[in-house]
Structure 1
Amino acid sequence: IKERSQDNAELEQSTAAVRGRVDTLAERDDGSTKAEDAKLAALRAASGTEELTGKGLTVTLNDAPPNATARIPNVPEPQPNDLVIHQQDLQAVVNALWRGGAQGIQVMDQRLISTSAVRCVGNTLILQGRVYSPPYKISAVGDPGTMKKALAASPALQNYQLYVNAYGLGWKVDEHKALTLPGYSGTVDLHYAKPVAPTP
């Protein structure tokens, strides 16, 4: 898995280099109007393939210590699943940040796009063909106050906070005056879902 993850990272770098050359060629005078150029720039920004800088937040999630015990009276001793980060925890953070107006999100060192899937297998995260272990960092550019409110309002994250208090799961939110997210550099082709031609 580690070898495949490394291969995927190298392929992403190669793809990014080719995309950069294609973008350079596309930016040559092709007779497009200023309105078309502006529309194309807006689409690039929305697609997540362009670098994004602004105010933002970083949320860090981590497993509880291996020897964790209940910290609160009358709470049962933890089961192994109570002490690790799960897929739904990561998804809850990402979804709350989007609801809070995030302009762009990065999980670990990868920018999310519309086809990104945050998936866990066991206690590892698999994102766009690469494997990560906790602690997990999720960074978002947007209004920090609004995103913090969205995190606090999420029912899934309110439940997560119960486990933070009871068993010591890791939770940290850092605010940034200037945060830069790289543009997504991997493939944008769909591997599984395919568009279906409309029936006549």
Structure 2
Amino acid sequence: MNLFRPLRLLALTMLLAVANTALAADPDVEAITRDVARPAVLRGAFNQEKQVAGFRNPLRSQGTFVVARERGVIWSTLEPFPSELVITAERILSRQRDGSTRVELDAREQPAMRSVNAILFALMSGDVQALSSQFTVQARRDGNTWILALAPKSPMLAKAFTSLELRGDRYVRQVTIVEASNDRTLITFSGLRETPAVLSADEAARLE
């Protein structure tokens, strides 16, 4: 189970349609924007729990990720079943544990997906300005933790998502996604690190 299923990615591509929209002068939002780190490369681990409406037990998965600014995202699920999703400006590629690969989306066929990696940066790095283009953003503080509550502005996004919530400090530590179907996904990030600040040869090759 991956965080960013291809059908959801198609909806998410609308997030940055007006990415340069200026924000209102909200002191809390401005403070969060200053506080959040924007490294060239960010690595870490994730734990994901998805509660599907009508089912008692949540679906759980965990793994690691690499976010490389201007290159893409490697989202590697380790449990319960190994798989990998590689997202670049040109395509979304899934790789299964038997080594087989499949192109989920191609920019030549879906030009709008060129903004997908920027969307992921926005979600995982707390890029409030980018997120605010398609979401109403409410910011608040809980001690040293900032919280961003996002409500979709467009009817298209509202068909996919009811709300998103980001919590963090220097980094985004937790993302909660509530879908229109009432399915709820909680992703917790840990072990976040900015070093090494460049991709390894293997990581770079996977993002080609």
Higher helix share: 1
TM-score by length of 1: 0.28
Higher strand share: 2
TM-score by length of 2: 0.27
